[in-house]
Amino acid sequence: MNSRMAMSSALYLGIDTGGTYTDAVLWSEALGIVAKAKSLTTRHDLAEGIAGSVEAVLRQALIEPGEIKLVSMSTTLATNALVEGQGGRVALVMIGFDQADFFRDGLSQALGSDPVFFCPGGHDVHGEPNELVLEDFAAELPTLEARVTGVAVASYFAIRNPEHEIAVRELIHSRTRLPVTCSHELSSKLGGPRRALTTLLNARLLSMIDRLIISTEGFLEKRGILAPLMVVRGDGALVTAEFARTRPIETVLSGPAASLVGARHMTGLDDAVASDIGGTTTDIAVLDGGRLRLDPDGATVGGMRTMVEAVAIHTFGLGGDSEVSLNERSLASDFILGPRRLIPLALAAMKHIDVIHSDLTRQLLNPNASRLDGRFVLRTGVPDSLAVGLTLTETRLYAVISEVPIALDRLVVSTSQIATINRLVMRGLVHIVGLTPSDAAHALGRQDNWEPVAAKMGAELFARKRNGEGHRIAEDSTALSVAILEAVTRRSAEAVLETVFTEDGLDGSACVSHHLVQRAVDRTGGMAGLVVALDRPVIGLGASASLHYAGLSRLIGNECLSTEHADVANALGAVVGQVQMAAEARVSQPEIGLFRLNSGARINDFETEGEAIAAAEAHVKSVAIGLAERAGTDQARIEIVRAIKVATIDGERSFIEATILATATGRPRIAS
């Protein structure tokens, strides 16, 4: 395609920054996908991976950077961080909550060893305040900045009145430079502990998304691409980069949502199961009647239920770069895949071939297998400022680790050090290098992206491990690699079945693990022949879909489709979506003859129900339009939905409450 052809239709650049690859596509409404490319994601400097893929599509399309009118980006970084338990160290401030609330909805587990502060205060259901006491918390502020990277603030019934959250935020900003996330900014739903959890996770992701956006904006400006930058949210909608920077939790499931949008756009299928296998996760969702189904209870990622409205996507810690480990509790040679992502040996050897080959060769010459064989550790390359709050033991070990991989059997002298390294991994400070399904594919010659010799040596080391009966788990590297890839396909089929069982209202995990379902999938014989079959096809997405899903059809009882551009469905989905923002208001009756409007920081009282609801509608319409403009569109369409609850008492209508929701939708603004 030449420059003149491109000018006949606005060109959009879609980017997806995944855990392993960064994808880019050039797309126009008239011509479809004009060019596409992949580049390795460079976590230490995300701009490198972005530059690699974008430069490639510019060369393919033969266009000038100024011809691009919109840039839109999806990312799996937030999803992967939560699945792998990574993120910054965060302080949680709970206002008006008690200790029992802290142990609900997985909040205490998510916080881990990060600090929590309880302050008296909060509000009642109608927005009336309790006394706010901040003296004890204020005394902690002089040392807090050296201990955490951000603060999450949640107040009791902040959705009715956020003034106490705002007061704490202003106090923190007056004495520190720490970023602060308040719960009322993220959700208007009831459920304080889960709202606090959502706020905590948002604060934990701030630095990660900020680095992504800064890297992307820096590259685009340097390259002369002067177009608006958008980011895909977890519900498939687009928002400006500046909007996403303050609410990174809303980008959880961004990559999977974009993939689903892209799959629908490419296939035109109204009813299907879309399964996207990446480096770290497999993300599965159901298309019904051509619509993306939203999860009404909020996105669940890494076992944590948030209040983020997102596409109903089921995320599994299964990908091409999943950690391969041995189930030591089993007598058989059973593999455990994931959920943690490792850097594949074949990939690490691309940059550090001498170190990787030397240590793998040394380990192969040892007569006895070690649990640490084929494992290395190296720094991720994040700024040193993110290493705050480390213990003395963690600091000492972190100082020894560098950007060059070091074999674990050279570094580790005690079991406790393994736990220390795992904590550094969870903080996003170091990576583990080890055997993955990607290595198995390289060892067999079914993939040729990276260095195959390291992959084969790593597979041979793993094959020497012993199962519970004392036997080698595989005859050689070839047998082991075949078994690993078969395990990925089998686990992928189980993930698809678990998803559809769950969407049918069943306990998906329990159903899949039931021996009758296992027999049906295995097609094992018996007096009763059992069959499991999906009622719709599976759309296989991801760069390795053709490899891992080749044998999927016979396991799920329906066809598995792959399209020409299945490898960049996420980047395509990033540019075909729309901006969509919503605002909600609630009208209650705290006492007879008084109708109270609550919406964010606004609280107004009215004498009649009609006045309150009219004011609520005008307010949410204005807020939704403002949010949509901030999110990146100037052509928003407004839809307002009322939900009014009343009761009939002694034949008379009695008002209980009303919820008014305004939704603004429109295409993103593009460069003129």
C-alpha Rg value of the chain to the nearest Å: 26
Do residues 175 and 141 lie in contact, with contact meaning Cβ atoms separated by under 8 Å? yes
Do residues 230 and 70 lie in contact, with contact meaning Cβ atoms separated by under 8 Å? yes
Mean pLDDT on 204-233 = 89
Burial pattern 653-669, b for ≥16 Cβ within 10 A else e, equals eebeebbbbbbbbbbbb
pLDDT tens digits, 353-401 = 999 999 999 999 998 888 899 999 999 988 888 888 899 999 999 999 9
Average per-residue pLDDT in the chain? 89
pLDDT band at 331 (very low <50, low <70, confident <90, very high): very low
Top mean pLDDT of 16-25, 71-80, 83-92, 336-345 is at: 336-345
Residues whose CB falls within 8 Å of the CB of residue 358, separated by 6 or more in sequence, listed in order = none
Write the burial class of residue 498 (CB in 10 Å: 0-12 exposed, 13-18 middle, 19+ buried).
buried
Does the N-terminal peptide bond of residue 296 adopt cis geometry, omega within 30 degrees of 0? no
Rounded to the nearest 10 degrees, the angle between the axes of helix 192-223 and helix 46-61 is 50
- Res 6: pLDDT: 38
What CATH number matches the domain at 90-205, 2.60.40, 3.40.50, 3.30.559, 3.30.1380? 3.40.50
- Res 332: pLDDT: 44
Chain mean position to CA 583: 24
Residue 372: both structure tokens together: 């640490």
Looking at the predicted structure, is the pLDDT value of residue 246 above 90? no
Residue 211: both structure tokens together: 């680095």
Query: Where do the DSSP E strands lie in 345-473?
Result: 376-379, 406-407, 430-434
- Res 552: pLDDT: 93
Lowest-confidence region among 93-97, 169-173, 527-531, 622-626: 527-531
Cα(566)–Cα(375) distance, rounded to whole angstroms? 32
Residues whose CB falls within 8 Å of the CB of residue 383, separated by 6 or more in sequence, listed in order = none
**How would you classify residue 671: left for phi > 0, otherwise alpha for psi between -120 and 50, otherwise beta?**
beta
Mean pLDDT on 500-528 = 88
Lowest-confidence region among 186-190, 280-284, 656-660: 186-190
Q: Is 57 helix (H, G, I), strand (E, B) or coil?
A: helix
- Res 44: pLDDT: 67
For the chain, give the number of residues.
672
Looking at the predicted structure, is the pLDDT value of residue 142 above 70? yes
**CA-to-CA separations, 380 to 114, 272, 377, 547, in angstroms, rounded:** 21, 38, 9, 28
Residue 14 neighbours by CB distance under 10 Å: 30
Query: What are the start and end residues of each CATH 3.40.50 domain in the chain?
Result: 90-205
Cα(252)–Cα(308) distance, rounded to whole angstroms? 8
If we measure between CA atoms, which residue out of 219, 216, 228 comes closest to residue 17?
216
- Res 3: pLDDT: 37
Q: What is the largest CA-CA distance in the chain?
A: 89
Residues whose CB falls within 8 Å of the CB of residue 369, separated by 6 or more in sequence, listed in order = 461, 464, 465, 466
Do residues 325 and 307 lie in contact, with contact meaning Cβ atoms separated by under 8 Å? no
pLDDT tens digits, 260-270 = 889 988 888 98
Q: Where do we find the tokens 């840039």? A: 71
Strand (E) or helix (H) holding 582:
strand 579-591
If we measure between CA atoms, which residue out of 120, 115, 119 comes closest to residue 92?
115
Cα(404)–Cα(383) distance, rounded to whole angstroms? 16
Do residues 181 and 150 lie in contact, with contact meaning Cβ atoms separated by under 8 Å? yes
Q: Where do we find the tokens 């396909």? A: 489
User: How do 594-599 and 602-606 pair as beta strands?
Assistant: antiparallel
Angle, CA 473 vertex, CA 467 and CA 476 arms, to 5°: 155
Reported pTM:
0.73
Cα(194)–Cα(277) distance, rounded to whole angstroms? 29
Residue 410 φ/ψ, nearest 5 degrees:
-90, -25
If we measure between CA atoms, which residue out of 418, 10, 75 comes closest to residue 278?
75
- Res 82: pLDDT: 78
pLDDT band at 329 (very low <50, low <70, confident <90, very high): low
Q: Where do we find the tokens 């309790």? A: 130
Residue 663: both structure tokens together: 């939704």
pLDDT tens digits, 609-632 = 999 999 999 999 999 999 999 888
Q: Is 234 helix (H, G, I), strand (E, B) or coil?
A: coil
Chain mean position to CA 313: 11
Cα(636)–Cα(338) distance, rounded to whole angstroms? 42
**CA-to-CA separations, 119 to 53, 126, 137, in angstroms, rounded:** 48, 20, 7
Q: Where do we find the tokens 């820096």? A: 218
